[in-house]
Amino acid sequence: VRWSEGQGWHDPSITAREPLTMDPSAAVLHYAQEIFEGLKAYRLPDGKLALFRADANARRFRESARRLAMPELPEELFIESCRALATVDREWMPTVEGGSLYLRPFMIASEAFLGVKPSAEYLYMVIASSVGAYWRGPARAVSIWASREYARAAAGGTGAAKCGGNYAASLVAQAEAIRQGCDQVVFLDAAERRWVEELGGMNIFFVFDDGSIQTPPLTGTILPGITRDSLITLARGMGLTVREELYAIDQWRADAESGRLTETFACGTAAVVTPIGTVAEAQGRFTIGGGVPGPVTTRLRDALVAIQRGTAVGPDGWMQPIA
């Protein structure tokens, strides 16, 4: 679907995947006016296809568009584009048990000009790829590196938007994490390098020995994850106390060492829920819950996966049938 000043949204089409033709001065190539989303379609036991909380992705896409001075795509068009692509080609049907279709809607500024101003033309597209089930059998707890050198987002910046530039800026920190022998990076706040924010592509949760759960609040520097929101709802439904509060890295270490903190996990659309077993930082490493996936992590993950696979009923509207 294209957008231009005067015409608004127009020319929707589904085509075979092929290279794009763009002018070398297209705004996106120079000023990174680009946003995207990530969501999944699942096949339910009755054979129907359903999107998981696509309305929430549509809303986040609009918020990202607003932050990047781009036109807002109507929610119906967002959902229809995902529905149309997921149903047009049935070959994606995952053969792996628990597989799903990952959908990647995105929008780029396509007007050709040199000069810093919002583009007057945009291209919105969706691509898709079939993915197998993550975490089959016992999950491996991952290790993360707390970067003190690089921050992901500062107050007033684009941290809450899903724009490519945020990820470009995070790659060097992820490379640092790998160099430190870890699987992933965890970012601290830009101002003090003290408050735990999120991973490169996942939000983070802490579980305490009194059964309560904590996750950093949406202060504008982290991505408002849809998995994060879903797990808060599910945890509260299980009677668990959930706090959205800042958590300092030094406190995290102290609580892990004293046993007050029993589990930590990350969450996002791709991997759903991933247990974190080890944290490495300037002060050295510390282990959480013996470095193995904990019971609360497993329980929340199982509850969410059951809803997504259609073997349990979730809150109204979470699974949106599309065909």
Residues making contact with ligand PMP (CB under 6 A):
38, 198, 201-203, 223, 225-228, 268-269
- If one counts every other C-beta atom within 10 angstroms of the C-beta of residue 321, the result is 12
Nearer to ligand PMP, 83 or 228 (CB): 228
- Quote the least distance from Cβ 2 to ligand PMP, whole Å: 25
Do the Cβ atoms of 41 and 51 come closer than 8 Å?
yes
Nearer to ligand PMP, 119 or 174 (CB): 174
Nearer to ligand PMP, 38 or 94 (CB): 38
Do the Cβ atoms of 230 and 304 come closer than 8 Å?
yes
Nearer to ligand PMP, 26 or 160 (CB): 160
3-state percent breakdown (helix, strand, coil) of the chain, nearest 5: 30, 30, 40
In whole angstroms, what is the distance from residue 203 CA to residue 184 CA? 12
Nearer to ligand PMP, 201 or 293 (CB): 201
Do the Cβ atoms of 128 and 51 come closer than 8 Å?
no
Do the Cβ atoms of 275 and 142 come closer than 8 Å?
yes
- Quote the least distance from Cβ 113 to ligand PMP, whole Å: 30
- Quote the least distance from Cβ 25 to ligand PMP, whole Å: 29
In whole angstroms, what is the distance from residue 216 CA to residue 248 CA? 10
- Quote the least distance from Cβ 187 to ligand PMP, whole Å: 9
Residue type at position 184: Q
- Quote the least distance from Cβ 67 to ligand PMP, whole Å: 14
Nearer to ligand PMP, 119 or 227 (CB): 227
List the structure tokens of 111.
């007007």
- If one counts every other C-beta atom within 10 angstroms of the C-beta of residue 14, the result is 10
- Quote the least distance from Cβ 8 to ligand PMP, whole Å: 28
